[in-house]
Amino acid sequence: MANAATILFEALSPMNLLLALLGVLGGTIVGALPGLSATMAIAVLVPFTFVMDPASGLIMLGAIYTGAIYGGAFAAILVNTPGTPSAIATTFDGYPMAKRGDGDLAVTLATIASVFGGMVGAILLITLAPRLATLALAFQSTEYFWLALLGLTLIATLSQGNLVKGLIGGMFGIFLSMIGVAVIGGDVRFTGGMPSMLGGIDIVAALIGLYCIPVLIGMVATPDQHLDPGEARGFRMFEAIGISLKNWFNLIRSSLIGTLVGILPGAGGSIASLIAYSEARRASSNSENFGKGEPGGILATESANNATVGGGFIPTLVLGIPGTPPDAVIMGALMVQGIRVGPSLFQSGDDTVYVFMTGLVIATLLMLPVGLIVGRYAFRFITNVPKAMLVPLIAFMTIIGSFAIHANPHDVVVMVVLGLIGWAAGLAGFGASPIVLGLVLGQIAEQGFMRAWMIGGARGDFLGQLLVNRPISWGILALIVLTMMLPLLRMRTARRLAQQDVTRDGPAVAHRQIDRAGMAGSVVFLVLAVWMLLQAQGLSVMAAAFPYAVGAALGILSLLQILRSLRGHGGINAEGGSADGTVRGFALAGTMLAWALLFPTIGLFVTSLIACIVLMLTGQFGRLTVPRLATYLACILVMVTAFYMTLDRVLNVPLPQALLF
């Protein structure tokens, strides 16, 4: 290995700096648009890196990756839709902050946290990579199962208003994760006989639908501005730094969680940020504020998910096992360049890898200025654009975003349908986040458990394989118990206090009404549970075990909720409660559905143009003057053309062969 100065000098060459800057900028934008992923952006740019010097190419790819993970926060904060799965937990507090007029502060906090987390991950990558890589090997299927359960305990946190409804949502999410060909057993499950469902429900498409469609329906329900613009206050940098300093321990803990979870090839940024969020809430003195716009929540999730970038490169470079999908693409690019990752890389004396890691540090630092400027622009844009333009813009992004994932029109239909289900569930008091958690973690839990079962069965020691002989699992289980116990203890104290109040003021008169919506929802879930149990009978043992367990749990919980609803225990999950169905809301839902169904046959450009005009009229409140209408129409034409060309020409996404274009 050459000396550090040479490496630093090479990494800081003007060309590499420029590439890092462009990479971060491009990555941030791609990350902010739901559906467009770092994997896609990197894959498109890989051929260009072949003509570059290997180190420069890699620096650019790394910069895109880290920028995209950061960019996911923008959509999470401003539109309540995670731009990438890593930003799921950022919506919990980011969107409430934006709603109350602190969107600018939230974006600045996300930027500081991302830079901090990214730096921790990158520094650990440079200093301790070979040693930390052993963690990837120490984690086996069993540990992934327990890790998924730890993530699922967050449902309890997220369903403060009504735990039973939250749990039902979680079970529904796990059900969604089981649709398609079972990895273990190979059976086809819950597809309803449709070949298009064999691939299962794509998590990104589900995220876009579940989070974004209810926001859109809410937007057209009232003439109010989408977000409160607040007065111009600059970046609110000092305020944000002050909050970050107060949360210094939270930042360090979350960054370490992010790096460690990033090392695990089966986990990734979404799980890292969920666990960091859960831990931050548990440790915080104002934990009841989490989910209502607590800055500490954003700091936790955004530092954790950017720390996974450095963490994910650890197994990629040291073991030759990609930590995340973008790592896999970068690894492929390295192989084509003739650089073989894996155990020999660090001994080969090739400087490229060190130049690359230094470049990652530089790219992370560049996120600060780039992020602040892009963030400020995005915030102003979202708050200032009139609703009549914002509605078609966001709707169009959901359509092309869900299409671009696999260039599959089917994903778009799934996105809209799940969005409408999420909206209806929200009306009945079922929050979207428990469903998303179940969907993201369901497969990890199921496969981890079933593998432990098979391996334990082969070795004749199932319990040993699942828990007894696995010290890391003990640790995760202890965390699960701790996370579950603390809220219960707090609840008991709260109840005791409340009882004291009651005895003082005399018994409160119970005015409880039957929760009709909640009951209707529970009946639907009960029917689903019965269907699951019936379907599971036709499956192999390996593929049926989880459907039986989840179906039974869903059935019992739904029955319980039906009884509770009758007795008036309605209750709405923290972030549940959709906007009521208005005429405009139904018009929007209908337009989205028709758009998703018709664009593969008629053509993406034409349907998008028509749908955007309809949505523009749906989002327009008050009188529409002719010059204004002309401006709107022109904007829609430019917008649709620009995105269409980007998909077709820049990102190389194969568009369906339609009647028109």
Partner 1 sequence: MGTTTRRLIGAASLALMGTAGAALAYPDGPVTYVIPFNAGGESDVTARYQQARFRDITGQDMIVQYLPGAGGAQAWAGLNSIEGDGQTIMGTNLPHIVLQPMLQDPGYKTEDITNVYMFHFTPDALMVANDSPFQTVQDVIDAATAMPGGVTAGGSATNSANHVANQIFMNETGVETTYIPYTGTGATETALVGGEVDMLWGYTTVAVRQGDATRVLAVATEERHPLFPDSPTFKELGIKMVGGAYRGIGVPASTPEEVRTQLSDIIGEINADPSFREQMENDGYALIDVPYSEMDTFMAERIEAYTLIAEQLQSQQ
Choose which of 457, 471, 568, 590 interacts with partner 1 (CB under 8 A): 457
Q: What is the DSSP string of 591-652?
A: HHHHHHHHHHHH-HHHHHHHHHHHHHHHH--S---HHHHHHHHHHHHHHHHHHHHIIIIIS-
Number of residues near partner 1 (by CB under 8 A): 64
**Contacting partner 1 (CB under 8 A), which of 1, 128, 335, 563?**
335
Of the candidate residues 343, 369, 471, 475, the single one contacting partner 1 (CB under 8 A): 343
Distance CA 308, CA 89 (A): 15
- HSE (side-chain half, CA atoms, 13 Å) at 122: 26
For partner 1, the closer of residues 337 and 522 by Cβ is 337
Using CB under 8 A, which of the segments 340-348, 429-437, 471-479, 570-578 binds partner 1? 340-348
By the rule CB under 8 A, 644 interacts with partner 1: no
Q: What distance in Å separates the CA atoms of residue 649 and residue 644, rounded to the nearest whole number? A: 8
**CA 514 → CA 166, 517, 576, distances in Å?**
19, 9, 18
Q: List the one residue out of 413, 389, 377 whose CA is nearest residue 640.
A: 389
Q: How far apart are CA 294 and CA 74, in angstroms?
A: 16
455 forms part of the interface with partner 1 (CB under 8 A): yes
Q: How many C-beta atoms surround the C-beta of residue 216 within 10 A?
A: 27
Smallest gap from residue 654 Cβ to partner 1 (A): 6
- Phi and psi at 293, nearest 5°, equal 105, 40
Beta bridge partners of 189: 180
Nearer to partner 1, 16 or 324 (CB): 324
Give the one residue of 12, 100, 140, 548 binding partner 1; rule: CB under 8 A: 140
Assess contact for 311 and 259: CB atoms under 8 A. yes
Give the CA-trace dihedral at 95, 101, 107, 112, to 10 degrees: -110
Q: Which x/- pattern, by CB under 8 A, does the window 231-270 give for partner 1? A: ----------------------------------xx----
Q: Which of residues 369-398 bind partner 1 (CB under 8 A)?
A: none
Tell me the closest approach of the beta carbon of residue 454 to partner 1, in angstroms: 6
CB nearer to partner 1: pick between 189 and 226: 189
CA separation (Å) from 429 to 554, 574, 578, 592?
16, 9, 8, 23
Residue with tokens 């986040």: 433
Q: At what angle do helices 541-566 and 163-178 cross, to 10 degrees?
A: 150
Residues whose CB falls within 8 Å of the CB of residue 232, separated by 6 or more in sequence, listed in order = none
Answer for which of 246, 459, 496, 516 binds partner 1 (CB under 8 A) is 459
Measured from the CB atom, the residue of 35 and 180 that comes closer to partner 1 is 180
Looking at the Cβ atoms of 382 and 466, the one nearer to partner 1 is 466
46 vs 123, beta carbon nearer partner 1: 46
Closest approach of partner 1 to the CB of residue 282, in Å? 29
Q: Which is nearer to partner 1, 165 or 451 (by Cβ)?
A: 451
Q: Which of 299, 300, 281, 290 is nearest to 574 (CA)?
A: 290
Q: Which of 350, 344, 310, 338 is nearest to 326 (CA)?
A: 310
Half-sphere exposure of 58 (CA within 13 A, CB side): 30
The 8-class DSSP code of residue 580 comes to P
Length of the chain: 661
- Sign, CA dihedral 203-204-210-211, equals positive
Candidate list 223, 342, 568, 590; residue touching partner 1; CB under 8 A: 342
Residues 525-564 that bind partner 1 (CB under 8 A): 540
Q: Where are the beta strands (DSSP E) in 105-227?
A: 180-181, 188-189
Instruction: Find the part of the chain contacting partner 1 (CB under 8 A) among 354-362, 376-384, 448-456, 562-570.
Output: 448-456
Residue type, 295: P
Measured from the CB of residue 451, what is the shortest distance to partner 1 in angstroms?
Answer: 6
Among 286, 344, 493, 631, binds partner 1 (CB under 8 A): 344
Pattern of binders to partner 1 over 156-195, x per CB under 8 A?
------------------------xxxxxxxxx------x
* Least distance in angstroms from the C-beta of 61 to partner 1: 11
Site string (596-635) toward partner 1, x via CB under 8 A: ----------------------------------------
Question: CB under 8 A: which stretch of 71-79, 290-298, 631-639, 648-656 binds partner 1?
Answer: 648-656
**Is residue 15 a contact residue for partner 1 (CB under 8 A)?**
no
The answer to whether 308 and 293 are in contact (CB under 8 A) is no
> Which range, of 21-29, 278-286, 404-412, 611-619, touches partner 1 by CB under 8 A?
404-412
Closest CB to partner 1 among residues 188, 556 = 188
On whether the CB atoms of residues 106 and 235 are closer than 8 A, the answer is: no
Binding marks (x or -) toward partner 1, 28..67, rule CB under 8 A? -----------x--xx--xx--xx----------------
Of 289-318, binders to partner 1 (CB under 8 A) are 315
Q: Which stretch binds partner 1 (CB under 8 A): 15-23, 296-304, 336-344, 494-502?
A: 336-344
Q: Is 524 in the site for partner 1 (CB under 8 A)?
A: no
Integer CA distances (angstroms), 2 to 122, 349, 519, in order: 20, 8, 69
Can you give 123-189 as a three-state secondary structure string? HHHHHHHHHHHHHHHHCCHHHHHHHHHHHHCHHHHHCCCCHHHHHHHHHHHHHHHHCEECCCCCCEE
The contact set with partner 1 (CB under 8 A) reads 39, 42-43, 46-47, 50-51, 136-141, 180-188, 195-196, 198-200, 265-266, 315, 319-322, 325, 328-332, 335-336, 340-344, 406-408, 443, 447, 451, 454-455, 457-460, 540, 652-654, 657
